[in-house]
Every structure is written in C-alpha cells, then in structure tokens.
Structure 1
Amino acid sequence: MQLSRQMGAHRPYTDPWRRVEEEAAAGLPPDGAERYAHCGDKACDPVTRTRLQLNAQGELGPSPCARCHPVMQF
C-alpha cells in the first residue's frame, strides 16, 4: 500500500492514434497544425490533415497524412 502511494495515481494508457481519429471525426484541426504547411494532396483534408484509408478491419477511416499531419513529423 505504501509503495502505491509513493508511485502516485494510476494513469490509464491512452492511445494517441484514437485522439487523431476523434479530432478528424469532429472536424477539428490537430494540435500544432499551424507549424506545418498543408501538403496540397487532393486526398488529404486541409483542415484535419487526414486522409481516408482502409484500417486493419477493412473499414474506411481517417488516417494521419504522413506528409503534413503534426503527429507524423519527427
């Protein structure tokens, strides 16, 4: 019990890619989008910086653009 108090509060895992999907579904620009210019590709949404691609389940869903989405800039 003492060790758990020293460690602090439990923080559950949050998936950063889920946040990308939620922002795209809401039509919101991603955090930090102002730092990177839009790539100009017709398949890439200039506001959400996502493009529709097939996911692992075979469904069409938003995916961050590798050229201009802030989470893809390393």
Structure 2
Amino acid sequence: ISIISFDDLELESTIGLTTFAHPKKELGKTVAVQLLKLMENPSLNVSVKFPPNLVERESVKDLRDKN
C-alpha cells in the first residue's frame, strides 16, 4: 500500500508521508489578486495552474522492476 497526501503539512514530514506540496505564499497572493480583479469584473474567467511538486518520503512503495 502507498499513501500520498496533497497539502504537505508539517506533521507529514514528521511521519514520513509522501505528499504533493503547493506554494502556499504564491497561491495566497495569486488568489488575492484574482479576487480583486473579479470584484472589478464579475464576468472574468481566469484559470491559474501551479506545477506539481512531489515530496517523496517513506509512504510510497517502489513498484519499478528491480531486474
């Protein structure tokens, strides 16, 4: 069994849980800017993507062929 989370909390590093981290500060700034723009233009349609950042720890089994 492999377990992966999607928030990279401090507890996860303590227990060795593999996770997808996200840029918390950059995400917060981007949301605030887009919210202000949306308040000025309610019909605004914006999509913002952040690249995934996998933080590998001990909670994922390596399934690659060892041969």
Would you call these one fold, judging by a TM-score over 0.5? no
Q: What TM-score do you get using the length of structure 2 for normalisation?
A: 0.26
Q: Which has the larger radius of gyration?
A: 2
Q: Which has the higher contact order (CA 8 A, sep 6+)?
A: 2
